[in-house]
Amino acid sequence: METYTTDDALTTMGFGKLQGLVLVYAGMGWVAEAMEVMLLSFVGPLIREEWKISAQDESLLSSVVFLGMLIGACGWGYVSDKYGRR
């Protein structure tokens, strides 16, 4: 049985419409995540002022967002490993 490297597979397969669509969709997901992280730096002080919370509570609120990202990444990683394309 012959083995292939990733570079061999990409060279053989080429870069077509499907790969372009996957790249665009992955990029859109990355942009959405980046916007969420960036938004925290702008919205945090406004939330602190509006809700009259301390700086520590504002930091906790930001941390909860990142905790949600961690749980989501682990959860969807498991789902994609179990049910994804083989």
**Rounded distance between C-alpha atoms, residue 33 and residue 73, angstroms:** 12
Instruction: Say yes or no to pLDDT of 1 above 80.
Output: no
What would the pLDDT profile of 49-79 be if each residue is shown by its tens digit? 999 999 999 999 989 989 998 999 999 989 9
Instruction: Say yes or no to pLDDT of 86 above 90.
Output: no
Instruction: Say yes or no to pLDDT of 16 above 70.
Output: yes
**Rounded distance between C-alpha atoms, residue 45 and residue 78, angstroms:** 35
Instruction: Say yes or no to pLDDT of 35 above 70.
Output: yes
| Unique residue bearing structure tokens 């990409």 | 10
The pLDDT value recorded for residue 11 is: 87
Other beta carbons within 10 Å of 58: 19
Are 65 and 36 in contact by the 8 Å Cβ rule? The answer is yes
Query: Would you kindly state where each structural domain of the chain is located, as residue ranges?
Result: 15-83
Are 46 and 58 in contact by the 8 Å Cβ rule? The answer is no
